[in-house]
Chain A
């Protein structure tokens, strides 16, 4: 069974950093592209970042470009999102998503940016 489990969310001050993790099981991260998607309270889904199955290319929404970095560790079958210079508008539930196969989503990890 394919499963994704996010962790690493929490409360952080504006300007701070967080590193989100997504532990994948049931498939290898080098078989599908993976994305991070977020949903702020009362808002729609917002795609944040993606990494190709090969790992050779990464992509970012304009709203996070230069501040967030997506990466993965194939040996641990884990996906990461390093978030720097966090802003109030980055507060959201962050999901990792398998972009293919069953298009599985995790249950999300909550990030709150507030002073």
Chain B
């Protein structure tokens, strides 16, 4: 079973700053990785599929890269509404523990 590790656990930044979130897999995933944004009381929202493809309707400030075991989600210029927990997931399988992003 693949284990996903996310870092940092928490990120506290100001609006306009850049956020860089990391996800590492214990085994190669090729590009079978998705990123979700999850806010309390809501269903998770797909941001990125196939490691680097932005989902429809997702703002351009969200981008992602990586393949194999190392993946990165970047939010280029944080907005207050980006406060959420961000999860990486091996497609149809394991989730990482999440990174909490607090923008204030």
Return 7 A-B CB contacts under 8 Å, by A number: A37-B95, A47-B89, A47-B95, A99-B91, A102-B56, A106-B43, A108-B43
Binding site for A on B (CB under 8 A): 1, 34, 36, 38, 43-44, 46, 49, 55-56, 85, 87, 89, 91-95, 97-98
- Cβ contact within 8 Å between A35 and B92: yes
Residue of B nearest to A33 (CB): B92
CA distance A45 to B88 in the complex (A): 10
| A25, chain B: closest CB distance, angstroms | 16
| CB neighbours of A69 from chain B (8 A) | none
| A105, chain B: closest CB distance, angstroms | 4
- Cβ contact within 8 Å between A59 and B46: no
Interface of A is mostly: strand
CA distance A45 to B89 in the complex (A): 10
Pairs A-B, 5 closest by C-beta atoms: A105-B43, A103-B46, A50-B92, A99-B92, A45-B95
Taking a contact as CB atoms closer than 8 A, the residue among B44, B94, B97 that contacts A105 in the complex is B44
| A38, chain B: closest CB distance, angstroms | 10
Against B, the Cβ 8 Å flags (1 = close, 0 = not) of A77-114 are 00000000000000000010001001101111000000
Taking a contact as CB atoms closer than 8 A, the residue among B43, B55, B92, B94 that contacts A95 in the complex is B43
For chain A, which range describes its interface: under 10, 10 to 19, 20 to 34, or 35 or more residues? Answer: 10 to 19
| CB neighbours of B89 from chain A (8 A) | 45, 47
Known: A44-B85, A45-B38, A62-B1. A102 touches B46 (CB 8 A): yes
| CB neighbours of A106 from chain B (8 A) | 43
CA distance A103 to B35 in the complex (A): 11
| CB neighbours of A33 from chain B (8 A) | 92
Residue of A nearest to B34 (CB): A103
